[in-house]
A and B are shown apart, each in its own frame.
Chain A
């Protein structure tokens, strides 16, 4: 007998018209559902995310099919991926059936679903279906029996689980009933190529053929109904993520990571800056809220959430979703909660891990921008004072601007004003210029550069705050003024290369400043020194010590700079004991997002939490690469009572102590 099965066996070709009509109707309802949602997306401001379309499509296909972002969290990600691939297979199978039944056969008299192809086709689909069922079972167990903390389940989840399970199961029931009627009695060899179907068929072996046929028809229509129900449910439930997530991959931000939008503050036609109401968000922001599948991966990694502050990135997206789809008149800051908004450290852990490519950080900064620029509101008087200090003296610490270069006097470092002929400009930053602990970092860097024969100069009192913390707090105006000043000064000296010891300065000069016309090359000292090391211009004599290395948010997640600092540490003789949360999973020190300017009044101290993680490695040195991290850890280590066994050091200080000829 030929290895094939009759399409529309038992139900007859008469089902074609009603089936396609119903399918069309279902698709129509689905389209209508999406159209209604499209209307809500359109309430947002315009934004171009369709440039480089072919690259975007390729990236979206790759991410969707390979499930790359889903797999970032191995266990549940793996289960979802396997389910996804098996469902994809089943879908492909249905498409092939459709192609043969409605195109190839009637028009070209071609039947490819036969022979060996059909045997393998049957086997693969059967196994795929079984895998899908098993994975569904695992997902069900995780969500409803294991109940991971923070994972909330609602009507949509129940619908998804129920519908998918019923669809796959009913598929096997149809197969089983049919095989029981057509292949079991005949002892068909083909049956072995559908092992699951065969097993199910055996359950029905006792029934009579008319009975089997009746139930088969019922099951067939039931399966069709469930499937059409599935299609209809897509836009109205979380099932929309089938479209929304790949779409979000397509529409992702391809710009430099962590670069905020530069507002045109001179634009007279703009009445309001930042995001106060739904219409102030971009359409992409609103679309993000629909793409969120509430997997809580962002929440799990959020340093604010982990220390009991009112911020959860997932909740925030959910709050915005509610405003968009249920209460569009509500103010955004009121919906999200101001304490939640101010708690963000812009560490990007949420955005990095999000499998749906939701962009959390930009929304928070936009809402902050509105509070600051339009309401003059800050999270506390100490922040207002720090902002005032940046305005008056060019640094948040309130130190006299004229004293900014004083730390360098005794080292004989020249300012560009005294001698503009340098290899590279060292943009020192506020903390390394004025804070006692961080001045040691600046001095270390100078020592290292001198040793390596690099002619380095500083701006001294001509340098102003890079503007990053005030920008992240929402004060776009002060940031632009501060930045413009720095850019003009640096350009006037004809500087082409800049090195910084602060990842915030680095990120800002290297990305944010580009929008304002800055084009010098910028490097963070870790990349700079790593290069000198590899070129042989930096010679180190290793001295062994145990260390744990903290990947700062602005060097790590923002700039993917993980290797260079570790090379340097290795060359210095460190035996590295990594924290569990390291690399892209690193846990913030708590000072980002302008929070270095603010007091931490809510929840537990983020720096203490991170210090504890460092302590757990058993290393005796906590190495960081950022003045904010260093400042936070000095406090955090003491706060966690670890100062006996754990010293806090900047990487530059270690390098400086290992210099050799």
Chain B
């Protein structure tokens, strides 16, 4: 069984973001990087499948500059067997379709039985790459998965719907699964695994060597949202604020 996990390295969401010079993406200086939270669930699920089957080859893949290798190493430390780094100095410029085609360019020849991705990334949040990749590989895709079971060559999942509802869905292997938060509990890598990860195979492929599709989107700008809230901002001592708010609630909406 060959499994592919696609992960993205993103900045920690608590970072203080600044717009880059071009004005179309965030400035990458002074950011702390980590694996996209949704992809952590994907990595964990892939490793769990490997453990369930008592053996499988799990490839962790990521696209971006050299720093994304750290994210791949974390996936290796969690239990993936080898890493594939699609090197692209300005990976941030690529739109989801381009990214999916680059990954497909690599994955096409590899014959993966199962592909896990996060359902979306925390920085861009397009939620497209997984499904696009499935299409390019000719595989069925199931998205927003919060429960996963593999039995007799078929995958049974539960999709998370609005309002707390879940939909039970199934398909046969090979397939692509995109993971939602809460699918499992991503493991903390043990020290022996962290050490082993340093020596696991890490293959680097230049993005330029893979035939990518042309870009389909144009980004005009990235900016901080305007405070069009029109709301009232109250600042000061807690006691004063309490009084002010109480007055507002009493007068404006007759609560209290």
Residues of A in contact with B (beta carbons under 8 Å apart): 265, 273, 372-378, 381, 384, 387-388, 392-394, 398-403, 461, 476-477
Contact = CB atoms under 8 A, between A and B. Distances in A.
Contacts of A273: 191
A377 B15 CA distance: 28
B189 A393 contact: no
A400 B32 contact: yes
The CB with the most chain A CB atoms within 10 A, among B16, B32, B33, B187, is that of: B32
A402 B194 contact: no
Contacts of A374: 190-192
Nearest to B187: A376
B31 interface: yes
Contact of A402 (B16, B33, B187, B192): B16
Interface string B175-197: 00000000001011111101100
Contact of B188 (A265, A376, A401): A376
A265 B33 contact: no
Interface residues of B, number: 18
B16 A477 contact: no
Given A392-B33, A401-B32, A477-B194, A378 B16 contact: no
Contact of A393 (B14, B185, B192, B194): B14
Task: Name the prevailing secondary structure of the B interface residues.
Answer: loop
B34 A392 contact: yes
A477 B31 contact: no
B127 to A, nearest CB: 24
Contact of B12 (A265, A373, A392): A392
A265 B193 CA distance: 12
Contacts, number: 50
> Would you list the 9 A-B pairs with minimal beta carbon distance, nearest first?
A373-B191, A376-B188, A402-B30, A400-B15, A376-B190, A393-B32, A392-B34, A400-B14, A392-B32
Interface in B131-189: 185, 187-189
Interface in B19-36: 30-34
Interface of B: 12, 14-16, 30-34, 185, 187-192, 194-195
Given A381-B185, A402-B30, A402-B31, 16 more contacts: A265-B195, A373-B190, A374-B190, A374-B191, A374-B192, A375-B190, A376-B189, A388-B34, A392-B32, A393-B14, A393-B32, A398-B12, A400-B12, A400-B32, A402-B15, A461-B30
B14 A399 contact: yes
24 contacts: A265-B191, A265-B195, A373-B190, A373-B191, A374-B190, A376-B187, A376-B189, A378-B188, A384-B188, A388-B34, A392-B33, A393-B12, A393-B32, A394-B32, A398-B14, A400-B12, A400-B15, A400-B16, A400-B32, A402-B31, A403-B16, A476-B191, A477-B191, A477-B194
Nearest to B77: A376
Contacts of A377: 188
A575 B256 CA distance: 46
B182 to A, nearest CB: 12
A381 B185 CA distance: 9
Contacts of B32: 392-394, 400-402
Contacts of B195: 265
A108 B177 CA distance: 97
Contacts of A376: 187-190
Nearest to A263: B191
Nearest to B29: A402
A617 B224 CA distance: 53
Contacts of B194: 477
A480 to B, nearest CB: 11
A401 B31 CA distance: 8
Nearest to A476: B191
Contacts of B189: 376
Nearest to A406: B16
B235 to A, nearest CB: 14
A387 to B, nearest CB: 7
A647 to B, nearest CB: 16
A255 B25 CA distance: 54
A401 B32 CA distance: 7
A392 B34 CA distance: 7
Nearest to A381: B185
B168 to A, nearest CB: 27
A461 to B, nearest CB: 7
Contacts of B34: 388, 392
Contacts of A378: 188
Contacts of B191: 265, 273, 373-374, 476-477
Contacts of B30: 401-402, 461
